[in-house]
Amino acid sequence: MDAVLTICSRLDELNRVRRTTDEPPLSHALCGHFGRVLYGNVGSSERLDFTIIGEPVNVAARGVDKAKMLGVSHVFTRAFAERFGRDLVVPMGRFALRGIAEPVELFTLATEVAPSYRSR
């Protein structure tokens, strides 16, 4: 969670500077998940690419899409929250993620509950 808080802090600082030069603010979406994956180089002697595959990769990618839809910058799965700490997160509910068989319980930073989500 320290890395996420550092990202938030640095992005806030960068956006403060951007406001002084009339540049639009930058935003991002992130999904923290935890699980077993396969990783390594794939390809041939002419071209090698490092890649990561597995359902946890798909959950994280779909979680980013869901974060954008929910209007938050950060979502975390239960697996992530249990492994790395639940003190700073609040549950958002279980959500269907495209291509993932079972709904996934998602959390977000307690400081970031989106106004659109609060009205549910």
pLDDT in tens, the chain (120 residues): 888 989 999 999 999 999 999 999 999 999 999 999 999 999 998 999 999 999 999 999 999 999 999 999 999 999 999 999 888 999 999 999 999 999 999 999 998 865 555 434
Q: In a 3-state reduction of DSSP, which class is residue 95?
A: strand
Ordered structural domains, the chain, with CATH = 29-118 (3.30.70.1230)
Q: Where does residue 84 rank: exposed (0-12), middle (13-18), buried (19+ CB within 10 A)?
A: middle
Q: What Cα–Cα distance (Å) separates residue 79 from each residue in 20, 41, 107, 108?
A: 40, 27, 10, 13
